[in-house]
Chain A
Amino acid sequence: MKITFTWLALLLVLSGCKPEAQKDTMDFLETKPPKNRVEGKGFSIPVYDFEGLESLLHQDDEYTYVINFWATWCAPCIAELPFFERLGTAYQDEKVRVVLVNLDMAKMWETHLVPFLEKREMRSYVVVLQDPKQNSWIPKVYKDWSGAIPATLIYNSGLRKFYEKPFSYEELQSELNNFLKTKTHENPDHTTDIRSGTPGTGIQPPAAGNS
């Protein structure tokens, strides 16, 4: 079928350059027992509701977190996943953590998610968010997120931005570089919203200053 073909094509593109690297763990997440696990050849992925996942969005440490919300049924998400994988590898020595938060429905785990992960052998930390009460948790990720994916949150102790749009690798890298330059405690509460085609819809930092 078409979907399988697309995955196969992506797999072929990727397979030439798969890096060998240590898989990151998120100890703060693993302190709570997950609601469930999605198991496959070579992986066991925790399933959390939003309450279980929330600490991932609010770490105040030396890392920059790149958190991508995706699903196997979302074609633009699948198209940009390799960029997140590549980013994680390229920045593995720079205190960057790439986390892929999967939103597949439970009934798609066995039929779609497991086969997908078995083929792709993701390097990034993958976690499943399973919480049908979306209207309560979506605004807690970012107040103006409509709920459409792909969507990405990047934050560290100094800066926080939300992107409701797909990324190219260059855009992703350029955004991340801004974060690595601004790892301070200046304005941790300001989340900026970047939508495709509509720059600057979120809170803007004052014009004067360091940019």
Chain B
Amino acid sequence: MALLVLAFSPRQPETAKGYAVGDVATDFELRNIDGNTVSLSDYKDAKGFLVIFTCNTCPYAVAYEDRIIALDKKYKELGVPVIAINPNNPKVQPGDSFEKMKQRAREKNFTFPYLLDEGQEIFPQYGALRTPHVFLLEKQSRGPVVRYIGAIDDNYADAAEVTEPYVENAVDAMLKGEEIAVTNTRAIGCSIKT
């Protein structure tokens, strides 16, 4: 029956670009605000990563800054650090220039690397579509495997009103070796400026 349906379906849609949960994510070598480059392979002891595409200028990204810092503080010592990547083209969005990134990181005391996706080659590989957009990776023998894609939690407007902390739930389950209940979520965010 299933075969029949497939046989008569219109041509399969093109696979959407970017990763699905279960895919192996690419490593990268991007410039951090401290001038050094950062790669996933630098973190020999990490169990995973919270790769978060975010920026200075999107109000949703700004609304989540404190929560991103809290995630890093909570999970870095458990082996899952935050790695923030600004995917925007600073020529299109001057508020997201490397200098402005440094400034914002200083003002907010970012505890995590804040990298610029220079040339914008990394975010399309991940399939990031907006800021903020989270990719939880788990280090496995075959490489960093995508375990969760989506929003940080279910209430951008008020951290106190969050009922589902998606990212925390996903990292907690991953670290316990349990199944992650919710692996894909959505949220309103700013499109990435190219």
| Contacts A105-B59, A132-B157, A133-B154 given; does A148 touch B16 at CB 8 Å | no
Q: Which 6 residue pairs across A and B have the least CB separation, nearest first?
A: A148-B130, A146-B129, A148-B191, A138-B186, A147-B186, A132-B155
Chain B residues positioned under 8 Å from A108 (CB to CB): 59
B180 at the binding interface (Cβ < 8 Å)? no
B158 at the binding interface (Cβ < 8 Å)? yes
B35 at the binding interface (Cβ < 8 Å)? no
| Among listed B7-15, B24-32, B40-48, B73-81, interface-contacting one | B7-15
Number of interface residues, chain B, beta carbon within 8 A? 32
Bitwise, B120-157 to A at CB < 8 A (1) or not (0) is 00000000011001000000000000000011001111
A147 CB contact (under 8 Å) in B14, B17, B63, B188: B188
Bitwise, A178-194 to B at CB < 8 A (1) or not (0) is 00000000000000000
B191 lies within 8 A of A105 (CB)? no
B190 at the binding interface (Cβ < 8 Å)? yes
Chain A residues positioned under 8 Å from B58 (CB to CB): 73
- Minimum CB–CB distance from A75 to chain B (whole Å) comes to 8
Which residues does B use to contact A, with CB under 8 Å? 10-11, 13-14, 16-17, 58-59, 63, 93, 129-130, 133, 150-151, 154-158, 161, 164, 166, 185-193
Q: Complex formed: what's the CA distance from A108 to B156 in Å?
A: 13
B10 CB contact (under 8 Å) in A146, A148, A204: A204
8 A-B interface contacts by CB (under 8 A): A135-B150, A135-B154, A135-B186, A145-B186, A148-B192, A198-B16, A200-B13, A207-B11
| Contacts A145-B186, A146-B129, A148-B190 given; does A135 touch B17 at CB 8 Å | no
Residue of B nearest to A150 (CB): B191
A138 CB contact (under 8 Å) in B157, B187, B191: B187
A144 at the binding interface (Cβ < 8 Å)? yes
A147 lies within 8 A of B158 (CB)? no
B191 lies within 8 A of A132 (CB)? no
Residue of A nearest to B151 (CB): A135
Chain A residues positioned under 8 Å from B193 (CB to CB): 75-76
Q: Complex formed: what's the CA distance from A149 to B186 in Å?
A: 12
B189 CB contact (under 8 Å) in A75, A106, A147, A202: A147
B14 lies within 8 A of A134 (CB)? no
B17 lies within 8 A of A148 (CB)? no
Chain B residues positioned under 8 Å from A135 (CB to CB): 150-151, 154, 164, 166, 185-187
Q: Complex formed: what's the CA distance from A166 to B193 in Å?
A: 11
